[in-house]
Chain A
Amino acid sequence: MTMNTNPLADMAFMRAFLDTVIPPGRDGRMPGAGTLGLEGGISTAVESDARSGSLVRAGLAALAEAAASTGEAGGFPALDPAHRAKVLDDVLAEHPMLVNAVARHLYLAYYQHPTVLVAIGEPARPPFPEGFTVEPTDPELLAKLVSRQK
């Protein structure tokens, strides 16, 4: 990636960035956020986020630049995960809101993705129409209440 491209439009860069914010789980249960095809939607959401769009663009540009300055020809996506995390951490000193501003969109997208829902033990469906079961009131508690009924 060249320094003057918009990092939000560089999907390889975005995938690597999202995978750094939510990396794959060590035990393989949780997917990395960069592997779920979320990058396009996140870029669009950030672009149209009046509150923090420009802040994110500036932060991502700084991240791309910091990655390039490591000498790695492929830029941020080519760094190994630990190195990516280190570079991002350094960039946050100057752009402290970068991750949070993206995560406001990313966490919604990631934790409503069917693959992720299944991985955390939730059904991959909307709540309606099947709904959920809730445990009954503890009979011991209920008995105590009944003994106090006025």
Chain B
Amino acid sequence: MANEPVGVLIIGAGASGAAFAWSIADTGASVLCLEQGPWMHQKDYPTNFMDWETRAMGPFATNPNVRGLAQDYPVNDSESPIQPLMFNAVGGSTILWAAHFPRFTPGDFRVKTDDGVADDWPISYETLEPFYAVNDRMMGVSGLAGDPAYPPHQPPLPPLPLGETGNIVARGFERLGWHWWPSDSAITSTEYNGRAPCINLGSCGSGCSQGAKASTDITYWPVAERKGVQLRTNCRVKEITVRPDGMADGVLYYDADGVLQEQKAEIVVLACNGIGTPRLLLNSKSTRYPDGLANSSGLVGKNLMHHPYALIRGIFDEPLHGRAGPGGCTFWSHQFYKTDPSHGFVRGYSYEGTRGMGPATTALWGMATGKVPWGEGHHVAFDRLNGHTAGMVGITEDLPDEANTVTLDPELTDSNGIPAPKVTYTLSENSRKQLAHAVERGTEALLAAGAIETYSEPLIKTAGWHLMGTARMGTDPKRSVVNEWGRAHDVKNLFIIDGSIFVTSAGVNPTSTIQALALYIADRIKQNMRNLFD
């Protein structure tokens, strides 16, 4: 049976797809979302089980190449020092994310003007501000208002407790007179909209059994479905089809039984993340668009940005009980966020405070770093680490570079035979300097906090959780893929709403900005309904 054509077809039910679906449903148009993954269930998350640390490294691993689930597609990352991470299900990568929820700062939208590098965004913080606020309410954000690093905003819920891990490191920042502030966290600190408060399970990165962490399957999707949005799971889109006039016609997708289906739509919206989206555009070749859809600029898949991460960890005499609590949500610091000529690099980075680890992870980390030996000295060394670590990560601003790409791998495919993406990425000299600075100064902060020993990794390999820039936004069709409200320059009924459209990356986690953008684009579509394709 043929599928009924729909008004709006969204591909991908993650952070951006969910927010967009919820908003666009207001139009009364028929809205359908196709998602390659299934619904997740809180009862299946690792923290329900004794062996939660093992499960977190297997079926809930952050790297799709390690998980290898039916709904995952492989990513060839052999030419990248950073492994791309994601999750494929209703909720997308928010199923596994840490929910550290900073906004971009106003200056992040005008790096060319301020620092003479990369490009300015065609929109500003002020454009997104109302959508950040709506999104904070929908996701259920906890935080403390008044951070001097940001324009004023009021998180709807009180901040999460710092715990001893956060307290001890924050005292180090205080001693140095550095900026720090409790992070905005998309985790409920109190009961909120039917969601229970956080009970500090300590393994946000493998799914929240409590439902306190805002993954979009429990925030936006239930409300979007009540508004009439249809969500079809286990449906993997193979390509976007085009009409003879060059407009998008709909998609071809494989359903749960592996049968190729056709779905027609008036508007197609891409929300597959910074790797999935360029992959799909490049897989949508036609006589009219031989280089892939929306690619007349040649920029689809180019300018891939991550946030290269540095890890700085301290070992403390004091017991810190760090395995409990949201691991990535204590505080942030913008001390080294802005360009300062004395740093020797442009732009900057933020710090994100981190708590400790579970016992098994502590032992494995101890083995990998040579801090926990086998044999006689094992227990003493383990006791010194377990519950005694706290620290931070440095999140550096990655500048766009056309040589960092997502392309189609000539051989690798997913389980439906669709060509898989290949990531080619080189760490820039600027990022390298930022990372080294983050390690050096972060170590200083931990020593000021009283750490008896410090450990650092100047580049975390398994930290490609932010995927941006591969279908950038701009006003010039020769220098960008979508316009200033997410519409493809080449295909006027095709929109892109995920991190692909970022012009620059800022030095903070991207998801509140991704979702604010998705809401803003939905709003612009609603405003421009009458002349949407002009």
Give chain A's interface residues, CB within 8 Å of chain B.
20-23, 25-26, 29-30, 85, 88, 99-100, 103-104, 107-108, 110-112, 114, 116-117, 120, 122, 124-138, 141, 144-146, 148-150
The answer to whether A128 and B210 touch across the interface, beta carbons within 8 angstroms, is yes
Identify A132's interface contact among B152, B324, B386, CB under 8 A.
B324
Per the bound structure, the CA–CA distance linking A138 and B180 in Å amounts to 14
Q: Chain B interface residue count: which class?
A: 35 or more
Residues of B contacting A88 with CB < 8 Å?
A: 375
Known A127-B47, A131-B210: A108·B54 in contact at CB below 8 Å: yes
Where chain A touches its partner, the secondary structure class is loop
B340 at the interface (CB under 8 A from A): no
Known A103-B374, A132-B325, A133-B324: A127·B166 in contact at CB below 8 Å: no
The answer to whether A108 and B53 touch across the interface, beta carbons within 8 angstroms, is yes
Closest chain A residue to B209, Cβ basis: A128
| A128 CB to nearest chain B CB (Å) | 4
Known A85-B376, A137-B161: A126·B48 in contact at CB below 8 Å: yes
The answer to whether A141 and B359 touch across the interface, beta carbons within 8 angstroms, is no
Residues of A contacting B364 with CB < 8 Å?
A: 103-104, 107-108
The answer to whether A120 and B359 touch across the interface, beta carbons within 8 angstroms, is yes
The answer to whether A120 and B374 touch across the interface, beta carbons within 8 angstroms, is no
The answer to whether B182 and A127 touch across the interface, beta carbons within 8 angstroms, is no
> Please, could you name 8 A-B residue pairs with CB atoms under 8 Å apart, sorted by A?
A103-B363, A104-B364, A112-B359, A127-B209, A132-B324, A133-B200, A137-B166, A141-B170
The answer to whether B363 and A135 touch across the interface, beta carbons within 8 angstroms, is no
B402 at the interface (CB under 8 A from A): no
The answer to whether A111 and B359 touch across the interface, beta carbons within 8 angstroms, is yes
Where chain B touches its partner, the secondary structure class is loop
Residues of A contacting B362 with CB < 8 Å?
A: 111
Identify A23's interface contact among B160, B209, B376, CB under 8 A.
B376
Closest chain A residue to B160, Cβ basis: A134
Per the bound structure, the CA–CA distance linking A128 and B48 in Å amounts to 5
B295 at the interface (CB under 8 A from A): no
Q: What 4 additional pairs, Cβ within 8 angstroms, besides A133-B324, A144-B174?
A: A110-B363, A111-B360, A127-B47, A149-B147
B162 at the interface (CB under 8 A from A): yes
| Max chain A Cβ within 10 angstroms of own Cβ: one of B147, B360, B383 | B360
Instruction: Give the contacts of B37-75 with A (CB-CB under 8 A).
Output: 45, 47-54, 57
B199 at the interface (CB under 8 A from A): yes
Per the bound structure, the CA–CA distance linking A112 and B148 in Å amounts to 43
The answer to whether A125 and B48 touch across the interface, beta carbons within 8 angstroms, is no
B202 at the interface (CB under 8 A from A): yes
